[in-house]
Protein backbone atom coordinates (compact mmCIF):
# COMPACT_ATOMS: atom_id res chain seq x y z
CA UNK A 1 0.00 0.00 0.00
CA UNK A 2 1.41 3.38 -0.96
CA UNK A 3 0.97 6.32 1.31
CA UNK A 4 -1.87 8.73 0.52
CA UNK A 5 -2.26 12.34 1.60
CA UNK A 6 -4.68 13.49 4.28
CA UNK A 7 -6.92 16.53 4.33
CA UNK A 8 -7.69 18.39 7.55
CA UNK A 9 -10.12 21.28 7.94
CA UNK A 10 -11.44 23.40 10.80
CA UNK A 11 -15.11 24.25 10.83
CA UNK A 12 -17.34 26.84 12.48
CA UNK A 13 -16.49 28.95 15.51
CA UNK A 14 -12.94 28.38 16.67
CA UNK A 15 -11.86 27.59 20.23
CA UNK A 16 -8.89 27.90 22.56
CA UNK A 17 -7.91 24.29 21.81
CA UNK A 18 -8.98 23.39 18.25
CA UNK A 19 -5.36 23.88 17.22
CA UNK A 20 -4.40 21.30 19.85
CA UNK A 21 -6.52 18.84 17.86
CA UNK A 22 -4.78 19.96 14.67
CA UNK A 23 -1.49 19.37 16.48
CA UNK A 24 -2.68 15.85 17.42
CA UNK A 25 -3.63 15.10 13.82
CA UNK A 26 -0.44 16.40 12.23
CA UNK A 27 2.02 15.05 14.80
CA UNK A 28 0.42 11.61 14.67
CA UNK A 29 0.35 11.62 10.87
CA UNK A 30 4.03 12.54 10.81
CA UNK A 31 4.73 9.41 12.82
CA UNK A 32 3.21 7.26 10.05
CA UNK A 33 4.85 8.34 6.78
CA UNK A 34 4.36 4.86 5.37
CA UNK A 35 0.58 5.42 5.37
CA UNK A 36 0.12 9.20 5.36
CA UNK A 37 2.35 11.16 3.00
CA UNK A 38 1.37 14.77 3.65
CA UNK A 39 -1.33 16.51 5.64
CA UNK A 40 -3.00 19.23 3.62
CA UNK A 41 -5.19 21.73 5.44
CA UNK A 42 -8.10 23.67 4.03
CA UNK A 43 -7.46 27.40 3.96
CA UNK A 44 -10.49 28.79 5.77
CA UNK A 45 -11.96 25.37 6.33
CA UNK A 46 -14.01 23.45 3.82
CA UNK A 47 -13.98 26.45 1.47
CA UNK A 48 -10.31 25.68 0.98
CA UNK A 49 -11.21 22.22 -0.29
CA UNK A 50 -13.97 23.47 -2.59
CA UNK A 51 -11.75 26.17 -4.10
CA UNK A 52 -8.69 23.89 -4.14
CA UNK A 53 -6.93 26.29 -1.79
CA UNK A 54 -4.92 23.75 0.16
CA UNK A 55 -2.16 24.43 2.68
CA UNK A 56 0.88 22.15 2.75
CA UNK A 57 1.47 21.53 6.45
CA UNK A 58 4.70 19.67 5.65
CA UNK A 59 6.22 23.12 5.09
CA UNK A 60 5.84 23.82 8.82
CA UNK A 61 8.61 22.88 11.24
CA UNK A 62 8.02 20.40 14.04
CA UNK A 63 8.37 23.31 16.46
CA UNK A 64 5.66 25.31 14.70
CA UNK A 65 3.30 22.33 14.73
CA UNK A 66 4.08 21.71 18.43
CA UNK A 67 3.21 25.37 19.13
CA UNK A 68 -0.31 24.75 17.82
CA UNK A 69 -0.94 22.96 21.09
CA UNK A 70 -0.92 26.27 22.93
CA UNK A 71 -2.23 28.62 20.24
CA UNK A 72 -5.93 29.55 20.25
CA UNK A 73 -8.06 30.14 17.13
CA UNK A 74 -7.93 28.22 13.85
CA UNK A 75 -4.39 28.22 12.51
CA UNK A 76 -5.52 27.46 8.94
CA UNK A 77 -8.65 29.57 9.05
CA UNK A 78 -12.15 28.29 9.64
CA UNK A 79 -15.45 29.16 8.03
CA UNK A 80 -19.15 29.20 8.56
CA UNK A 81 -20.17 27.38 5.41
CA UNK A 82 -22.66 24.57 5.67
CA UNK A 83 -22.83 22.28 2.68
CA UNK A 84 -26.43 21.85 1.59
CA UNK A 85 -28.06 18.47 1.36
CA UNK A 86 -26.82 16.07 -1.26
CA UNK A 87 -30.02 16.57 -3.23
CA UNK A 88 -29.79 20.36 -3.12
CA UNK A 89 -26.13 20.66 -4.01
CA UNK A 90 -24.58 17.42 -5.16
CA UNK A 91 -22.12 19.50 -7.18
CA UNK A 92 -20.26 20.64 -4.05
CA UNK A 93 -19.82 17.10 -2.76
CA UNK A 94 -18.62 15.95 -6.14
CA UNK A 95 -16.17 18.83 -6.22
CA UNK A 96 -14.74 17.77 -2.86
CA UNK A 97 -14.15 14.28 -4.17
CA UNK A 98 -12.63 15.70 -7.35
CA UNK A 99 -10.17 17.79 -5.31
CA UNK A 100 -9.34 14.84 -3.04
CA UNK A 101 -8.70 12.68 -6.10
CA UNK A 102 -6.53 15.31 -7.81
CA UNK A 103 -4.35 15.57 -4.70
CA UNK A 104 -4.31 11.88 -3.85
CA UNK A 105 -6.16 12.47 -0.58
CA UNK A 106 -7.39 9.28 1.04
CA UNK A 107 -8.15 10.61 4.54
CA UNK A 108 -10.53 13.41 5.47
CA UNK A 109 -10.33 14.81 9.01
CA UNK A 110 -13.05 17.34 9.69
CA UNK A 111 -12.78 19.23 12.99
CA UNK A 112 -16.05 20.80 14.03
CA UNK A 113 -19.52 20.52 15.52
CA UNK A 114 -22.81 18.97 14.48
CA UNK A 115 -22.97 20.43 10.97
CA UNK A 116 -19.50 19.30 10.04
CA UNK A 117 -20.20 15.81 11.40
CA UNK A 118 -23.07 15.69 8.92
CA UNK A 119 -20.88 16.88 6.03
CA UNK A 120 -18.19 14.40 7.00
CA UNK A 121 -20.73 11.58 6.98
CA UNK A 122 -22.04 12.51 3.54
CA UNK A 123 -18.55 12.78 2.06
CA UNK A 124 -17.81 9.30 3.28
CA UNK A 125 -20.99 7.90 1.71
CA UNK A 126 -20.69 9.75 -1.59
CA UNK A 127 -17.01 8.97 -2.05
CA UNK A 128 -17.88 5.26 -2.10
CA UNK A 129 -20.64 5.87 -4.63
CA UNK A 130 -18.32 7.84 -6.86
CA UNK A 131 -15.69 5.13 -6.81
CA UNK A 132 -13.04 7.14 -4.93
CA UNK A 133 -13.48 5.97 -1.35
CA UNK A 134 -12.18 8.40 1.29
CA UNK A 135 -11.94 7.58 4.99
CA UNK A 136 -13.82 10.40 6.67
CA UNK A 137 -13.25 10.99 10.36
CA UNK A 138 -14.92 13.72 12.35
CA UNK A 139 -12.96 15.33 15.21
CA UNK A 140 -15.25 16.86 17.81
CA UNK A 141 -14.99 20.55 18.66
CA UNK A 142 -17.43 22.98 20.12
CA UNK A 143 -17.41 25.39 23.03
CA UNK A 144 -21.16 24.85 23.26
CA UNK A 145 -20.63 21.23 24.42
CA UNK A 146 -23.71 20.21 22.45
CA UNK A 147 -22.50 17.13 20.56
CA UNK A 148 -24.16 13.82 21.45
CA UNK A 149 -22.52 10.57 22.62
CA UNK A 150 -19.19 12.11 23.64
CA UNK A 151 -19.18 12.94 27.36
CA UNK A 152 -17.96 16.45 26.56
CA UNK A 153 -16.53 18.41 23.64
CA UNK A 154 -13.00 19.73 23.35
CA UNK A 155 -13.17 23.52 23.66
CA UNK A 156 -15.84 23.48 26.32
CA UNK A 157 -13.64 22.77 29.35
CA UNK A 158 -11.49 25.82 28.70
CA UNK A 159 -14.45 28.15 28.25
CA UNK A 160 -15.98 26.72 31.41
CA UNK A 161 -12.75 27.39 33.31
CA UNK A 162 -12.59 30.92 31.92
CA UNK A 163 -16.20 31.72 32.78
CA UNK A 164 -16.01 30.23 36.28
CA UNK A 165 -12.73 32.04 37.00
CA UNK A 166 -13.99 35.33 35.58
CA UNK A 167 -17.28 35.09 37.48
CA UNK A 168 -15.33 34.30 40.66
CA UNK A 169 -12.96 37.23 40.22
CA UNK A 170 -15.76 39.65 39.37
CA UNK A 171 -17.74 38.40 42.39
CA UNK A 172 -14.79 39.15 44.65
CA UNK A 173 -14.72 42.62 43.10
CA UNK A 174 -18.46 43.27 43.53
CA UNK A 175 -18.46 41.89 47.06
CA UNK A 176 -15.89 44.51 48.02
CA UNK A 177 -17.80 47.36 46.37
CA UNK A 178 -21.38 46.44 47.27
CA UNK A 179 -21.71 48.62 50.36
CA UNK A 180 -21.93 51.87 48.40
CA UNK A 181 -21.67 50.87 44.76
CA UNK A 182 -22.38 47.92 42.46
CA UNK A 183 -24.65 45.27 43.96
CA UNK A 184 -25.47 43.22 40.88
CA UNK A 185 -23.00 42.08 38.26
CA UNK A 186 -24.28 40.51 35.06
CA UNK A 187 -22.02 38.41 32.84
CA UNK A 188 -23.23 37.31 29.43
CA UNK A 189 -21.80 34.06 28.08
CA UNK A 190 -21.99 32.02 24.88
CA UNK A 191 -23.56 28.61 24.31
CA UNK A 192 -26.34 29.23 21.78
CA UNK A 193 -29.29 27.00 22.64
CA UNK A 194 -27.43 24.99 25.28
CA UNK A 195 -26.71 26.20 28.82
CA UNK A 196 -23.47 24.33 29.40
CA UNK A 197 -21.25 27.41 29.45
CA UNK A 198 -23.66 29.34 31.66
CA UNK A 199 -23.72 26.36 34.02
CA UNK A 200 -20.00 26.79 34.64
CA UNK A 201 -20.81 30.05 36.41
CA UNK A 202 -22.56 27.94 39.05
CA UNK A 203 -19.22 26.52 40.16
CA UNK A 204 -18.47 29.65 42.18
CA UNK A 205 -21.32 28.97 44.58
CA UNK A 206 -19.09 26.58 46.51
CA UNK A 207 -16.71 29.49 47.05
CA UNK A 208 -19.46 31.35 48.87
CA UNK A 209 -20.56 33.52 45.96
CA UNK A 210 -24.27 34.17 45.39
CA UNK A 211 -24.97 33.48 41.73
CA UNK A 212 -28.06 33.19 39.56
CA UNK A 213 -27.95 31.58 36.14
CA UNK A 214 -30.27 32.23 33.23
CA UNK A 215 -30.28 29.11 31.04
CA UNK A 216 -31.61 28.87 27.48
CA UNK A 217 -33.32 25.66 28.63
CA UNK A 218 -35.45 27.50 31.22
CA UNK A 219 -38.06 30.03 30.09
CA UNK A 220 -37.27 33.45 31.55
CA UNK A 221 -39.79 34.49 34.17
CA UNK A 222 -39.12 38.12 35.00
CA UNK A 223 -41.02 38.27 38.29
CA UNK A 224 -39.40 35.12 39.66
CA UNK A 225 -35.97 36.32 38.54
CA UNK A 226 -36.35 39.72 40.18
CA UNK A 227 -37.50 38.06 43.40
CA UNK A 228 -34.46 35.78 43.31
CA UNK A 229 -32.08 38.72 42.82
CA UNK A 230 -33.70 40.60 45.68
CA UNK A 231 -33.34 37.58 47.94
CA UNK A 232 -29.65 37.10 47.09
CA UNK A 233 -28.80 40.77 47.57
CA UNK A 234 -30.67 40.98 50.86
CA UNK A 235 -28.90 37.90 52.20
CA UNK A 236 -25.41 38.45 50.78
CA UNK A 237 -25.22 42.15 49.98
CA UNK A 238 -24.61 41.46 46.30
CA UNK A 239 -25.30 39.00 43.51
CA UNK A 240 -23.70 37.78 40.30
CA UNK A 241 -25.93 36.85 37.37
CA UNK A 242 -24.64 34.67 34.53
CA UNK A 243 -26.90 34.94 31.51
CA UNK A 244 -26.64 32.78 28.43
CA UNK A 245 -26.83 34.56 25.08
CA UNK A 246 -29.62 32.10 24.27
CA UNK A 247 -31.82 32.88 27.32
CA UNK A 248 -35.39 33.54 26.21
CA UNK A 249 -38.96 34.19 27.24
CA UNK A 250 -41.63 31.48 27.13
CA UNK A 251 -42.81 32.83 23.77
CA UNK A 252 -39.38 32.24 22.23
CA UNK A 253 -38.17 35.84 22.15
CA UNK A 254 -34.54 36.12 23.17
CA UNK A 255 -33.78 38.42 26.11
CA UNK A 256 -31.33 40.20 23.82
CA UNK A 257 -34.18 41.12 21.46
CA UNK A 258 -36.03 43.87 23.29
CA UNK A 259 -37.03 45.81 20.21
CA UNK A 260 -34.63 48.54 21.29
CA UNK A 261 -34.12 51.42 18.88
CA UNK A 262 -31.42 54.02 18.93
CA UNK A 263 -31.95 57.72 18.27
CA UNK A 264 -31.90 57.06 14.52
CA UNK A 265 -34.50 54.32 14.76
CA UNK A 266 -31.97 51.56 14.10
CA UNK A 267 -32.64 48.15 15.57
CA UNK A 268 -31.10 47.43 18.94
CA UNK A 269 -27.44 46.72 19.33
CA UNK A 270 -27.62 43.39 21.06
CA UNK A 271 -26.61 41.90 24.34
CA UNK A 272 -28.67 40.05 26.91
CA UNK A 273 -26.49 41.35 29.76
CA UNK A 274 -27.49 45.03 29.52
CA UNK A 275 -31.13 44.00 29.20
CA UNK A 276 -31.00 41.89 32.35
CA UNK A 277 -29.03 44.55 34.24
CA UNK A 278 -31.60 47.13 33.31
CA UNK A 279 -34.51 44.95 34.41
CA UNK A 280 -32.87 44.64 37.83
CA UNK A 281 -32.26 48.37 38.04
CA UNK A 282 -35.86 49.18 37.08
CA UNK A 283 -37.35 46.75 39.55
CA UNK A 284 -35.00 47.02 42.51
CA UNK A 285 -32.91 50.14 41.99
CA UNK A 286 -29.63 48.33 42.58
CA UNK A 287 -26.53 49.73 40.98
CA UNK A 288 -25.22 47.29 38.38
CA UNK A 289 -22.33 46.53 36.10
CA UNK A 290 -22.38 44.14 33.17
CA UNK A 291 -19.87 42.43 30.93
CA UNK A 292 -20.16 40.58 27.64
CA UNK A 293 -17.26 38.15 27.31
CA UNK A 294 -17.96 37.22 23.68
CA UNK A 295 -14.84 35.99 21.82
CA UNK A 296 -12.64 36.61 24.85
CA UNK A 297 -14.08 33.46 26.42
CA UNK A 298 -13.45 31.06 23.57
CA UNK A 299 -10.05 32.53 22.64
CA UNK A 300 -8.67 32.62 26.20
CA UNK A 301 -5.93 30.07 25.72
CA UNK A 302 -4.00 31.78 28.54
CA UNK A 303 -6.47 30.20 30.97
CA UNK A 304 -7.12 26.89 29.21
CA UNK A 305 -8.05 23.78 31.11
CA UNK A 306 -5.22 21.25 31.04
CA UNK A 307 -7.79 18.48 30.83
CA UNK A 308 -9.34 20.16 27.81
CA UNK A 309 -6.01 20.62 26.04
CA UNK A 310 -5.13 16.97 26.59
CA UNK A 311 -8.50 15.79 25.33
CA UNK A 312 -8.38 18.04 22.27
CA UNK A 313 -4.97 16.66 21.39
CA UNK A 314 -6.12 13.10 22.06
CA UNK A 315 -9.14 13.51 19.77
CA UNK A 316 -6.85 14.58 16.92
CA UNK A 317 -4.48 11.70 17.54
CA UNK A 318 -7.31 9.17 17.84
CA UNK A 319 -8.84 10.42 14.59
CA UNK A 320 -5.64 9.56 12.74
CA UNK A 321 -5.28 6.23 14.54
CA UNK A 322 -8.85 5.30 13.60
CA UNK A 323 -8.13 6.15 9.99
CA UNK A 324 -4.93 4.13 9.98
CA UNK A 325 -6.88 1.19 11.42
CA UNK A 326 -9.30 1.40 8.52
CA UNK A 327 -12.28 2.96 10.31
CA UNK A 328 -14.59 5.23 8.39
CA UNK A 329 -17.47 7.63 9.09
CA UNK A 330 -16.72 7.73 12.81
CA UNK A 331 -15.84 10.32 15.46
CA UNK A 332 -13.54 9.75 18.42
CA UNK A 333 -15.35 10.49 21.67
CA UNK A 334 -14.47 11.14 25.30
CA UNK A 335 -15.79 8.39 27.56
CA UNK A 336 -15.92 9.22 31.25
CA UNK A 337 -14.90 6.29 33.45
CA UNK A 338 -15.08 7.96 36.87
CA UNK A 339 -15.55 11.37 38.45
CA UNK A 340 -13.25 11.37 41.43
CA UNK A 341 -10.52 10.70 40.59
CA UNK A 342 -11.48 11.72 37.10
CA UNK A 343 -10.68 9.09 34.50
CA UNK A 344 -11.59 8.96 30.83
CA UNK A 345 -10.70 7.05 27.68
CA UNK A 346 -11.14 7.49 23.96
CA UNK A 347 -14.34 6.04 22.55
CA UNK A 348 -15.78 5.89 19.06
CA UNK A 349 -19.15 6.88 17.64
CA UNK A 350 -20.61 6.29 14.18
CA UNK A 351 -21.27 9.59 12.42
CA UNK A 352 -24.80 8.51 11.55
CA UNK A 353 -25.59 8.87 15.26
CA UNK A 354 -23.74 12.17 15.75
CA UNK A 355 -24.83 14.29 12.82
CA UNK A 356 -27.43 16.95 13.54
CA UNK A 357 -28.20 15.92 17.12
CA UNK A 358 -27.93 18.68 19.76
CA UNK A 359 -27.29 17.81 23.41
CA UNK A 360 -28.87 20.14 25.97
CA UNK A 361 -28.40 20.39 29.74
CA UNK A 362 -30.28 17.51 31.36
CA UNK A 363 -33.08 18.76 33.61
CA UNK A 364 -31.47 17.11 36.65
CA UNK A 365 -28.38 19.32 36.15
CA UNK A 366 -30.52 22.42 36.68
CA UNK A 367 -31.63 23.36 40.21
CA UNK A 368 -35.34 23.10 41.02
CA UNK A 369 -35.76 26.90 40.92
CA UNK A 370 -34.18 27.04 37.46
CA UNK A 371 -31.47 29.51 38.53
CA UNK A 372 -28.64 27.22 39.57
CA UNK A 373 -26.88 23.92 39.04
CA UNK A 374 -27.24 20.68 40.98
CA UNK A 375 -24.52 18.65 42.69
CA UNK A 376 -24.74 16.19 39.75
CA UNK A 377 -23.92 19.04 37.38
CA UNK A 378 -20.96 20.16 39.50
CA UNK A 379 -19.70 16.59 39.53
CA UNK A 380 -19.91 16.60 35.75
CA UNK A 381 -18.27 20.01 35.26
CA UNK A 382 -15.44 20.01 37.78
CA UNK A 383 -13.15 17.44 36.12
CA UNK A 384 -13.37 19.33 32.84
CA UNK A 385 -11.76 22.52 34.22
CA UNK A 386 -8.94 20.78 36.10
CA UNK A 387 -5.36 21.82 35.61
CA UNK A 388 -3.64 24.81 34.08
CA UNK A 389 -1.63 24.70 30.87
CA UNK A 390 -0.16 28.16 30.41
CA UNK A 391 1.24 29.15 27.03
CA UNK A 392 4.78 30.55 26.94
CA UNK A 393 4.92 34.34 27.31
CA UNK A 394 7.38 36.68 25.64
CA UNK A 395 7.65 40.42 26.37
CA UNK A 396 4.60 40.16 28.60
CA UNK A 397 2.25 38.57 26.05
CA UNK A 398 1.49 34.98 25.05
CA UNK A 399 3.82 33.81 22.33
CA UNK A 400 1.32 32.20 19.97
CA UNK A 401 2.34 30.81 16.60
CA UNK A 402 1.27 32.08 13.19
CA UNK A 403 1.98 29.42 10.58
CA UNK A 404 3.45 30.07 7.13
CA UNK A 405 0.45 28.42 5.45
CA UNK A 406 2.15 27.70 2.14
CA UNK A 407 -0.29 26.91 -0.68
CA UNK A 408 -0.31 23.63 -2.57
CA UNK A 409 -0.17 24.12 -6.34
CA UNK A 410 -3.58 23.95 -7.98
CA UNK A 411 -4.35 21.23 -10.51
CA UNK A 412 -7.99 21.86 -11.36
CA UNK A 413 -10.12 24.52 -12.98
CA UNK A 414 -11.60 27.15 -10.65
CA UNK A 415 -14.86 26.39 -8.89
CA UNK A 416 -17.51 29.00 -8.11
CA UNK A 417 -18.98 28.74 -4.59
156-175 residues in contact with a second copy (CB under 8 A) are 161, 164-166, 168-170, 172-175
CB 81 to a second copy: min, Å: 6
According to the binding rule CB under 8 A, does residue 300 interact with a second copy?
yes
The reply to whether 299 sits near a second copy by the rule CB under 8 A is: yes
Could you tell me the smallest distance in angstroms from the CB atom of residue 323 to a second copy?
A: 24
| Residue closer to a second copy (CB basis): 288 or 322 | 288
Q: Could you say whether residue 110 binds a second copy (CB under 8 A)? A: no
Q: Does 95 bind a second copy (CB under 8 A)?
A: no
Please count the other Cβ atoms lying within 10 Å of the Cβ belonging to residue 12.
23
Quote the Cα angle for 294-297-300, to 5°: 135
| Min CB(348)–a second copy separation in Å | 28
Tell me the C-alpha distance between 78 and 336, whole Å. 29
Among the listed ranges 1-9, 43-51, 324-332, 365-373, the one in contact with a second copy (CB under 8 A) is 43-51
The CB-of-159 to a second copy minimum distance in angstroms stands at 12
Residue 407 engages a second copy in binding (rule: CB under 8 A):
no
Is 221 a known active-site residue? no
Relative to beta strand 184-189, strand 288-292 is parallel
Strands 397-398 and 393-394 turn out to be antiparallel
User: Between β-strands 36-42 and 4-10, what pairing exists: parallel, antiparallel or unpaired?
Assistant: parallel
Residues 6+ apart with CB under 8 A from 74: 10, 14, 18, 19, 45
Residue 388 contacts a second copy per CB under 8 A: yes
Q: Compute the least distance from the CB of residue 64 to a second copy, in Å.
A: 15
289 contacts a second copy (rule: CB under 8 A): yes
Q: Give the one residue of 268, 321, 336, 374 binding a second copy; rule: CB under 8 A.
A: 268
Closer of 125 and 258 to a second copy (Cβ)? 258
Question: Closest approach of Cβ 289 to a second copy, in Å?
Answer: 5
- Contact flag: residue 398 with a second copy (CB under 8 A): yes
Task: Name which position in 29, 203, 361, 408 contacts a second copy (CB under 8 A).
Answer: 203
Q: Kindly give the interhelix angle for 306-324 and 18-30, rounded to the nearest 10 degrees.
A: 40
**Contact status: 397 vs a second copy (CB under 8 A):** yes
Smallest separation, CB 403 to a second copy (Å): 11
Q: Residues touching a second copy: how many (CB under 8 A)?
A: 86
What lies within 8 Å, CB to CB, of 188 at 6+ separation is 243, 244, 245, 271, 272, 273, 290, 291, 292, 293, 294
Residue 283 touching a second copy (CB under 8 A): no
* C-alpha pair distances (Å), 299 with each of 13, 23, 156, 246, 380: 10, 17, 11, 20, 23
Residue 176 touches a second copy, criterion: CB under 8 A: yes
Strands 330-339, 342-350: parallel, antiparallel or unpaired by DSSP? antiparallel
Among the listed residues 118, 144, 146, 308, the single catalytic one is: 144
Q: Find the binding residues for a second copy in span 204-223 (CB under 8 A).
A: 204, 207-208
Verify binding: residue 81, a second copy, rule CB under 8 A: yes
Task: Give the footprint of a second copy on residues 2-41 (CB under 8 A).
Answer: 10, 13-14, 16
Per CB under 8 A, 400 contacts a second copy: yes
Query: What is the Cα–Cα distance from 415 to 412, expressed in whole angstroms?
Result: 9
How far apart CA 3 and CA 283 sit, in angstroms, is 68
Please, which residue, 147 or 167, has the CB nearer to a second copy? 167
Query: Which amino acids are annotated catalytic?
Result: 144
Amino acid sequence: MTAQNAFYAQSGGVTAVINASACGVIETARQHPEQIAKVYAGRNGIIGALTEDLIDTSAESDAAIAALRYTPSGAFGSCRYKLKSLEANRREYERLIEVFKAHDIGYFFYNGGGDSADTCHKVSQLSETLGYPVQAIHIPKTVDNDLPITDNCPGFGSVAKYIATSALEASFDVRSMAKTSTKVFVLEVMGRHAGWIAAAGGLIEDQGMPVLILFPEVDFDQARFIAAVKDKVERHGFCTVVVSEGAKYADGRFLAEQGTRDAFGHAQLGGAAPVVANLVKEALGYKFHWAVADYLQRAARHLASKTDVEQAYAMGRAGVEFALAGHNAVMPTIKRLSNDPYAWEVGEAPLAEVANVEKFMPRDFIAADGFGITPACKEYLLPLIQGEDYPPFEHGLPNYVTLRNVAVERKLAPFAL
